[in-house]
Amino acid sequence: MKRTVRSVLATMLALVCAAASAQTTKAGDSPYYVGIGGGSIKMKGYCKAVNATPGFVGTCDESTVGFKALAGYQLHRNFGLELGFSNFGEARADGTVFGVDRIGRWRGYGVDLSAVGFLPLGDHFELFTKGGVAFWDVSATLATTASQDIDDRGFSGVAGAGVIWRMLPQIGLRAQYERFQKVGDGNVQVQTNIDYVSLSVVGRC
């Protein structure tokens, strides 16, 4: 997974900034942008599934932290396309099942392609909404097994909204909320809805 993360980030940054370098726009006017940040994640449904395991006694935490990267192209002042990478962190359960020690883990990442709508508010602020599709790759060690990792991949919808504060023509801060819907095949492992609240530094190449 770490190799995949590095490859995704490097490809996003290289492609976007290489394209931006060919533009003749002045600082801050490039339609290309990149960003990196992180935030708080809640994997809704994980602990409900763990606590429903027959014989399970212990603790569960479905709140964690992760990091993200994004790259976009603003076709119009009110519309753009964006590629995002989101690390989902790790949910954790510790306890026993009928007296036998068990540990549960749920972790993964998502890559999404979204359409983004922008609403400028003066020279320094923008509101935005986004919606698209995400490919996810998750791995879990269930609380009902000793050490069995179960890998799962698939697609789901993603939607979000937030605000951008452009501190400088080239640099801004972006706060956003996203939801990744139904991540994980419920027939294979735990299925969750992932709520992701993040803060990113965004720059125009």
Query: CATH number for the domain including 127?
Result: 2.40.160.20
Pairwise CA distance, residues 8 & 68, whole Å: 11
pLDDT at position 173? 95
Nearest to 43 by CA among 199, 191, 143, 162: 191
Q: pLDDT averaged over consecutive 10-residue blocks of the chain (205 residues)?
A: 53 55 57 95 90 88 95 94 96 88 88 97 94 94 60 94 92 96 79 94 87
Q: Which domain holds residue 70?
A: 2-204
Total domains, the chain: 1
